[in-house]
Amino acid sequence: MWAAYGLRGSVVRGLPRRTAGIGWAERTRKNDCALPGSRAPAYSSGPNERPEELTLAVLSADATPSRPRTAAVAVLGWRYALAVPVAVFLVTRVVAAVLVLVSSRHQIALGPSTIPGLFVYEGTPADPGYLAVTRNWDGQWYQLIATEGYHHVGPGEVPSHATVWAWAFPPVYPLVVGGLMHAGGLSFAVASTLLNLTAGAAAMVLLHRLLEETGGRWVATSGVILSCCFMSAPLFQAAYSESLAFLFLLAAFHLVRRRAYWLALLPTGLLSFTRLITPVLAVVVVAALVHRVRTHGWSSVSGSQRLGAAALAAYSAAGALAWPTLASSLMGDTARFNRGADVVSGLGADWFATSWASLGLPGIVLVLSVMAVLVISAVSSRSAAWGFELRVWSVAYPLYVMAVTPITAGVLRYALLAPTLGLLAVGIPRSGRPTRGQMALVVLAAVVGLVCQWLFVRYLLVLDLHPLMP
């Protein structure tokens, strides 16, 4: 049973591997989630237990060589780290699928001119069912790109609205879906669902791994549960790029933590052509490098790692311009001009200005309070269980969203890529074995999240005569 709490080995400091037995395992279970660098002992003994008694207990334990036991523990730990996040993700996707299926009866018949300003690539009847609802909103644009590709505007051609704005959507997600469609003869809805479920499950495995490394199994499991139960989590299975972007983002975090900066350029490059959020990753890279140097000195970072970190930070900072620059060079001068006018007309939204216009002074106080909570939570000692990379992301990414987007319902979608928000909602769970109260709080937060998912699906994802999603 002790293996279920993340025992990472049975080596007792100062004793040969073969002498470590069950007596050691029972003590290690109590402290195996201690944060790296903490002063917690390598074992947990009773108040009256002396070191020599611990040694006798270890030596008198099961004399079976520990190598098979250690291998079994490693296999169990690997299975847990893979099976639990995948199972949580898939179970919550089934719940979300039920919510979508039930709510689809409220969707109206859609055609090109049903709702002014709403792009519809493929019309649907009223009450269209699960797969049709997953293609709503951005899914229609992605279906256009996956099916027909991007349209180059020829000389003298007057571009349509669809031609111009299709280029606003980065290409990795729709092109991968299009590849699946052609390779397997699949419909867009089926191909996008398969891709999102696969990428989302893999992302949850990486999230669990990142949190478990620094916070232990309880924090990791809680983070996965609350991310899967987040209000906008149904988008993990809709025709949106969230699942794929989340996978690339967490892969980059995983490599940055190991100072594999050159390798991190691959998921970062893919992310820059999936979602335009890489400037925040540059902040994470620089902050992580500075933190490493301050705590371990320059000698802990090799010359190759320094160059890799500089290259990764530079590309991440400029990554948000990679696709817009390439798109502008490919779609033609006339289209570029019109698209630029459309983009400029959408900028200038300010959270403070909007809050002041809507609520007055209380609105300004509310925005400042949100920012303060984000900063305080990131510097709190309890958030050390998230790991340094996620701590920086937890404050830098929401502030980035507030700086570049208006206050709309779409913010709930963007928040899906901030996996620590769920942990923040339950008071940042501590490392170690959870109490019943902590487990009850996470379960309660998950239930509340699922209720909010129903509201999200019913009033934001499903299209009626008065849609709220931008």
What are the 10-residue block averages of pLDDT along the chain, 470 residues in total?
40 38 36 39 39 35 45 67 95 97 94 85 93 95 95 73 87 97 96 97 97 92 96 96 98 96 98 96 96 92 95 96 90 51 45 82 87 85 87 94 88 94 79 84 95 95 73
Confidence (pLDDT) at 151: 86
The half-sphere exposure of 293 on its side-chain side, counting CA atoms within 13 A, is 13
What span, in angstroms and rounded, lies between the C-alpha atoms of 112 and 48?
A: 77
Please check whether residue 452 is in contact with residue 425, taking contact to mean a CB–CB distance below 8 angstroms: no
What span, in angstroms and rounded, lies between the C-alpha atoms of 364 and 374?
A: 16
Give one DSSP letter per residue of 299-347, joined into a string. GGS-HHHHHHHHHHHHHHHHHTTHHHHHHHHHS-HHHHHHHHHHHHHH-
Confidence (pLDDT) at 368: 87
Report which residue type is found at 132: A
For residue 183, count CB atoms less than 10 angstroms from its CB and return exposed for 0-12, middle for 13-18, buried for 19 or more: exposed
Confidence (pLDDT) at 360: 84
Nearest to 43 by CA among 75, 9, 4, 72: 9
Please check whether residue 162 is in contact with residue 144, taking contact to mean a CB–CB distance below 8 angstroms: yes
Report which residue type is found at 3: A
What span, in angstroms and rounded, lies between the C-alpha atoms of 15 and 466?
A: 70
C-beta atoms surrounding 232 within 10 Å: 25
Q: At what angle do helices 242-257 and 188-228 cross, to 10 degrees?
A: 50
Token pair, residue 347, equals 């900028």
Strands, E assignment, 92-226: none
Q: 333 to each of 120, 170, 187, 306, how far by Cα in Å? A: 26, 19, 33, 40
Domain-wise residue ranges, the chain: 2-64, 75-461
Of how many residues is the chain composed? Answer: 470
Confidence (pLDDT) at 27: 36
Token pair, residue 48, equals 């009256």
The half-sphere exposure of 321 on its side-chain side, counting CA atoms within 13 A, is 4
Report which residue type is found at 337: F
